[in-house]
């Protein structure tokens, strides 16, 4: 699969694979600051009469051709030999997606649909219709705004040798102050953490690489064993880090302290570093992780341990073999879960429909014959992020943060009092 295709994506685990894949991406990635008037916008021309064998027609948009068009002249067209696109797959993709290329100093740059929002942002022609409608009207409007604003554009592009041709594709058009941070910073930071040794041997449990982001989940199993032993936690919770960056400006560098329970993750702390004026190195990342995350790595297990001795009800007065007391138990447990889920979904901006569906599932899983502690409730919520599907990246992060606060929220709740019937005399 060509690294230039918009849907390019690699997933895996292990530091070796992460290193190999990020090096491949870094080697393909280039950047350049260009003047707007040095750019010719080429907008795909789908008119049947303009089609030629082995060539693809484009309208040519420059400041002079826009001015001529406004004075009544037709917009000129030209053709690009198909071999300059490297493959039929890449050519068909640009026709069906952005429909846009750039000509800069005689070199052709395909424009990814991923890059369109960055250009519209720079040119101050934002809006869904501007981004989603790919035709010459949009491209003339975009080019005219770029020329009028006349500010340098920091292009981030990737290139690949295909059939003896160097094919280039732009994935972002950013401000001149933007500083490119290679995606290898993630793998290099994990390696540095391993060399340091203070957190034991880190393990890359999963990673994902695409044109927008490189992210890695790193677990610290040795620290997890120490914490489990120290706080006598009955459920398996493993501390770790989530590291993420984007070399096309879709995200700052993000360092998160996390705890993992099975396939679920909650966020405890977060550091965000913008791609502007920073000389970012693995040492800087680990320094911030040590200061902001590792220094408080035991806060969550401490909170969990404190919840172990706090029962949801006064179970000493109940007989959970009796249906009546079982019903009381379920009602009390469900009340705690429902209130906490409402807070979590509100903070995460999760829809009421998804909240209702999850609450029904959690209710069905309550075992009314068991004594519940607030620790049990906290462990339920540590698993919640893995149970709500269909969420975008930002919503997932908000959900993980909200669930990471559950142990602290529950620690402030008193045990639910046992409800007694009021004895009444016969009327």
The more confident residue out of 284 and 363 is 363
pTM of the model: 0.85
Q: What is the pLDDT of residue 135?
A: 93
Sign of CA dihedral 102, 104, 109, 113: negative
Q: Which ranges in 169-322 belong to alpha helices (H)?
A: 184-196, 221-231, 282-292, 299-307
Q: What confidence tier does 276 reach under pLDDT thresholds 50, 70, 90?
A: low
Q: What is the pLDDT of residue 415?
A: 54
Q: What confidence tier does 202 reach under pLDDT thresholds 50, 70, 90?
A: very high
Residues 370-394: pLDDT tens digits? 999 999 999 999 999 999 889 998 9
The more confident residue out of 122 and 12 is 12
Residues 24-71: pLDDT tens digits? 999 999 999 999 999 999 999 999 999 999 999 999 999 999 999 999
Beta-strand runs (E) in 129-201: 153-162, 165-174
Q: What is the pLDDT of residue 370?
A: 94
Q: What percent of the chain has pLDDT over 70?
A: 94
Describe the strand order of the beta sheet including 100-104 as a list of residue ranges.
29-34, 153-162, 165-174, 107-111, 100-104, 39-44, 55-61, 77-81
Rounded-to-integer distance, Cα 53 and Cα 300, Å: 65
Average pLDDT over residues 254-260: 94
Q: What is the pLDDT of residue 251?
A: 79
Domain ranges of the chain: 36-151, 184-297, 306-410
List beta partners, residue 265. Answer: 260
In whole numbers, what is the pLDDT of the chain averaged over residues? 91
> Taking a C-beta distance cutoff of 8 angstroms, is the pair 51, 60 a contact?
no
Residue in 153, 50, 138 with CA at minimum distance from that of residue 99: 138
Q: What percent of the chain has pLDDT over 90?
A: 76
**Strand 107-111 vs strand 165-174: parallel, antiparallel, or unpaired?**
parallel
Q: What is the pLDDT of residue 54?
A: 95
Residues 203-238: pLDDT tens digits? 999 999 999 999 999 999 999 999 988 988 866 789
pLDDT exceeds cutoff 90 at 249:
no
- Locate 98 and state its tokens: 């952005």
Residues 287-314: pLDDT tens digits? 888 888 998 899 999 999 999 889 999 9
**Cβ of 111: how many Cβ atoms within 10 Å?**
25
- Reported residue count of the chain is 427
Sign of CA dihedral 76, 81, 84, 86: positive
Q: What confidence tier does 280 reach under pLDDT thresholds 50, 70, 90?
A: confident
Average pLDDT over residues 64-82: 96
**Which 8-state DSSP code applies to residue 416?**
B
């Amino acid at each position: 699969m060509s690294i230039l295709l918009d849907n390019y994506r690699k997933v895996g685990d292990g530091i070796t694979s992460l290193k190999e894949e990020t090096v491949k991406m870094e080697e393909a990635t280039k950047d350049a600051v260009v003047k707007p008037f040095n750019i010719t916008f080429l907008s795909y021309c789908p008119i049947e009469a303009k089609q030629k064998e082995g060539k693809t027609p484009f309208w040519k948009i420059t400041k002079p051709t826009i001015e001529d068009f406004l004075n009544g002249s037709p917009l000129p067209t030209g053709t690009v030999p198909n071999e300059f696109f490297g493959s039929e797959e890449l050519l068909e993709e640009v026709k069906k997606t952005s429909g846009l290329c750039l000509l800069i100093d005689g070199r052709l740059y395909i424009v990814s649909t991923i890059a369109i929002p960055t250009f519209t942002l720079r040119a101050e022609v934002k809006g869904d219709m501007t981004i989603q409608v790919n035709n010459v009207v949009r491209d003339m409007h975009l080019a005219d705004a770029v020329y009028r604003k006349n500010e340098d554009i920091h292009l981030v592009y990737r290139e690949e040798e295909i059939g003896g041709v160097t094919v280039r594709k732009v994935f972002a058009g950013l401000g001149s102050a933007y500083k490119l941070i290679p995606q290898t910073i993630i793998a290099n930071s994990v390696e540095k953490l391993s060399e340091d040794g203070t957190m034991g041997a880190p393990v890359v449990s999963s990673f994902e690489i695409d044109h927008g982001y490189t992210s890695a989940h790193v677990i610290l199993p040795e620290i997890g064993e120490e914490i489990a032993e120290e706080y006598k936690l009955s459920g398996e919770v493993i501390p770790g880090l989530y590291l993420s960056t984007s070399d096309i400006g879709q995200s700052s560098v993000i360092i998160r302290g996390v705890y993992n329970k099975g396939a679920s993750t909650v966020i405890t702390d977060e550091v965000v570093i913008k791609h502007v004026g920073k000389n970012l190195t693995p040492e800087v990342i680990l320094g911030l992780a040590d200061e902001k995350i590792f220094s408080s790595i035991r806060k969550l297990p401490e909170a969990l341990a404190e919840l172990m001795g706090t029962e949801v009800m006064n179970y000493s007065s109940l007989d959970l073999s009796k249906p009546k007391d079982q019903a009381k138990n379920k009602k009390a447990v469900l009340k705690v879960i429902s209130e906490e889920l409402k807070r979590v979904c509100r903070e995460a901006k999760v829809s009421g429909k998804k909240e209702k569906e999850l609450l029904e599932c959690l209710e069905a899983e309550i075992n009314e014959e068991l004594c519940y502690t607030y620790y049990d409730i906290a462990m339920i919520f540590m698993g919640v992020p893995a149970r709500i599907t269909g969420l975008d990246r930002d919503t997932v992060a908000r959900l993980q943060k909200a669930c990471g606060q559950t142990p602290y929220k529950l620690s402030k709740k008193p045990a639910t009092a046992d409800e007694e019937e009021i004895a009444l005399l016969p009327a």
